[in-house]
Structure 1
Amino acid sequence: MTDLAALPPCEVSWFAALCDDDYEFLGVADPRLRSSWAHCRDIVLQAETGGFDNCLLPSGYQLGIDTTAFAAGIAPLLRRLALLMAVRVGESWPPQLARQIATIDRMLGGRLTINIISSDLPGETLASAPRYARTVEAMHILKTLLNGEPLDHRGEFWRLTIEPPRVGTVSGRAPLFYFGGLSPDARAAAAVGCDVFLMWPDRQEAVAAIIADLRARAATHGRTLRFGYRAHVIVRDTEAEARAAAERLLSKLDAAEGAAIRARSLDSTSAGVAAQAALRETAADDGYAEANLWTGIGRARSGAGAAIVGDPDQVLAKLNAYRAMGIEAFILSGYPHAAEADLFARHVLPRLDHAPLVR
């Protein structure tokens, strides 16, 4: 049995629905919950008020609002919350992105972290191997410049000789890079370039196997990784109430609309999404893949498709079980996002030993 007191504090982040992913009833569009500056601002401010450590700002060029512009807009409104800004490296020129990252980090007082997404350019489709090779190059370029070092890079995708930007991060070092992906190419890229490997919900034995595999891959490069877990959460006073809230969330879902929502996502054909579908398909008839892990959300969502569901003690125990396995960062969300953030902040967060991740 792992002694929780011996574990480092875990980072607990919430999720700002910048990509039109907020609902009272899954699959039923609600104009009040569409991505907008005001709505997403309110989610982030709720996360700060609730005591979360960080907040993920997702990115998608087809849905919602622009992530980098939003991060710059919200930064002056925050006093202590960190931001995990998602960047789609296929859409960016790395030296310009480095300047943007350094500037926003300054605006936040040094509290910016980066979620690297191995994206295509809009209208382009690269095969997996070259796309992840490009991502590795981008991470190297960004880290070099954000560490304040001159760059002489001769890669397949970029050839650059450049001095670092005049304005660097508050720490003088690159922010932590969070990154996820289950394909062999994604795992290889993570082992070389990221700091925190993110995974989506799965049975505990599968989570343990992913952690072991990524640790071994990173070790071959003389590196160590930290691990994060992205999941939804539904917490109520009793388990029965939490399960009822989960059922209510799906109570108006049309199956065809759910399939259309999943298909619209840019990652709908990825290995990670396939794993979420397999988890859902092998769950019990009530949608639970294991105790307190409910896969119903994946019926109307690509990406992270399962929720931790239960009373405060059960949700806390589930999170602590992941911590004992090596998870140091949680990125949580729930529907509607502002309301569920408040419930988690009141019922569970004060009982977790948590703090922002630091190098």
Structure 2
Amino acid sequence: MQPFPESTASCEVSWFSALCDDDYEFLGVPQTALQSSWEHCRDIVLSAETGGFDRILLPSGYSLGLDTIAFAGGVAPMLRRLKLLTAIRCGEVWPPQQARQIATLDQMTEGRLDINIISSDLPGETLESAPRYRRTLEYMHILRALLNGQPVDIRGEFYNLSVPPPRLGGYGGKSPLFYFGGLSEAARETAAAAADVYLMWPDTLDRVRSIVNDMRARAARHGRTLRFGYRIHMIVRDTEAESRAAASRLVSRLDASAGASIRSRSLDTATAGVIRQGELRDKADSEGYVEDILWTGVGRARSGCGAALVGTPDQIIAKLRAYQDLGMGAFILSGYPHQSECDLVARHVLPHLNHAPLSRFN
């Protein structure tokens, strides 16, 4: 690798712990050692802390893997620096109780906690996109108020309650940051009105630019500003040929029916974001590349974030900086297997990014 000029632009760089049965050596081929377990997912988190990442995303799935809040409470005392980005699925827990759980975790970590809010259908229920996001917006407003130490008295479409805040509020008297994503009209309006960080899944540079511009305008209409985050997989190797070979190897044993089964396991398979990831695969070339080093093969066996950056450290750093130029202030990275790719990214990419975690106290 040639010396890469350091960037003066700061960004947050996070890794991913595979709580939702999403870790493979060969995509779509389960291995007992890589299944979601306390030990395996804990080790990924500890590797991210040792590797110097700013934050770890703890995902959430109803029928998959481990419970996110329980896992976060178990791993929090083991960490000294790493921040937790803990996913919650709106509506699965009554808002005041959810606020108490989050406040407790926030105090345990001394403020090293933020929340990835997922506007999901509830287990056993299907709700159309627009009302589901209206429910999520009410939920977000309730959570933020309670975590800011404010009472809530709401007569809404979905929640009717009057409640004081929990005795334990957000650390420092302030709510954790809310990370939130979604491409539909309802999702974008919800993010503009109530999110702190708008998260995007992989897309072409032109499409990323368009979405960022749209979201900035929407937030401004609500009298707010947004920060932006980008979720993507990584395959980094010394040469371009080696990285592409690693990508090909990852899907070399993937059966099409197994991939379809994996994609259908989530409750969120019909969202606009998931549909867009499918469109990118359809537009890709014969090897799965839809843009320079942007490879869509991962999405053949994932229902969510479905593309990876595949290249040398220089190529990947340049691409991440291109996203920064479009407004990305946070990256949530992952790779297969998660622990070994975490080590590669920590050694070859992370040192060349000027990074620091986003803060609620800015």
Q: Specify the TM-score bucket, using the shorter chain as the normaliser.
A: over 0.9
Cα deviation, residue 129, structure 1: 1.1
Helix, strand or coil at the partner of 2:183: coil
Report the AA paired with residue 140 of structure 2.
Answer: M
Report the AA paired with residue 171 of structure 1.
Answer: G
Report the AA paired with residue 245 of structure 2.
Answer: A
**How do 1:241-320 residues align onto structure 2 when only pairs under 5 Å count?**
241-320=242-321
Cα deviation, residue 108, structure 1: 0.9
1:163 aligns with 2:170: no
Cα deviation, residue 59, structure 1: 0.3
- Counterpart Cα distance in 2 of 1:206 and 1:338: 31
- Counterpart Cα distance in 2 of 1:193 and 1:311: 38
Question: Do the aligned partners of 1:98 and 1:146 also contact (CA within 8 Å) in 2?
Answer: yes
> Which residue is 1:70 aligned to?
71
**How do 1:101-180 residues align onto structure 2 when only pairs under 5 Å count?**
101-180=102-181
Question: Do the aligned partners of 2:7 and 2:353 also contact (CA within 8 Å) in 1?
Answer: no
Cα deviation, residue 124, structure 1: 0.7
Question: Do the aligned partners of 1:4 and 1:320 also contact (CA within 8 Å) in 2?
Answer: no
- Counterpart Cα distance in 2 of 1:75 and 1:5: 31
CA RMSD of aligned residues (A): 1.1
Report the AA paired with residue 147 of structure 1.
Answer: N
Q: 1:305 to 1:159 in 2, by over 3 A?
A: same
- Counterpart Cα distance in 1 of 2:173 and 2:357: 18
Report the AA paired with residue 120 of structure 2.
Answer: S
Residue-by-residue CA offset, 1:46-78 (whole Å, 9 max, x unaligned): 000000000000001111010000000000000
Residue-by-residue CA offset, 1:84-133 (whole Å, 9 max, x unaligned): 00000120111101111110011111100000001122101111111100
Question: Number of paired residues?
Answer: 356
> Which residue is 1:219 aligned to?
220
Gapped runs of 5+ residues in structure 1?
A: none
> Which residue is 2:36 aligned to?
35
Residue-by-residue CA offset, 1:316-335 (whole Å, 9 max, x unaligned): 00101100110000000000
Cα deviation, residue 169, structure 1: 2.1
Q: TM-score, normalised by structure 1?
A: 0.98
Residue-by-residue CA offset, 1:186-236 (whole Å, 9 max, x unaligned): 111111110000010010000000101111111111011111000000001
Question: Do the aligned partners of 1:148 and 1:164 also contact (CA within 8 Å) in 2?
Answer: yes
Question: Do the aligned partners of 1:81 and 1:111 also contact (CA within 8 Å) in 2?
Answer: yes
Question: Do the aligned partners of 1:4 and 1:324 also contact (CA within 8 Å) in 2?
Answer: no
> Which residue is 1:231 aligned to?
232
Question: Do the aligned partners of 1:333 and 1:341 also contact (CA within 8 Å) in 2?
Answer: yes
**How do 1:19-34 residues align onto structure 2 when only pairs under 5 Å count?**
19-34=20-35
Helix, strand or coil at the partner of 2:315: helix
> Which residue is 1:83 aligned to?
84
- Counterpart Cα distance in 1 of 2:7 and 2:288: 33
> Which residue is 2:328 aligned to?
327
- Counterpart Cα distance in 1 of 2:216 and 2:93: 29
Helix, strand or coil at the partner of 1:18: coil
- Counterpart Cα distance in 2 of 1:4 and 1:208: 23
Helix, strand or coil at the partner of 1:216: helix
1:194 aligns with 2:183: no
Q: TM-score, normalised by structure 2?
A: 0.97
Question: Do the aligned partners of 2:18 and 2:41 also contact (CA within 8 Å) in 1?
Answer: yes
Identity of aligned residues (%): 67
Question: Do the aligned partners of 1:54 and 1:81 also contact (CA within 8 Å) in 2?
Answer: yes
- Counterpart Cα distance in 1 of 2:153 and 2:7: 45
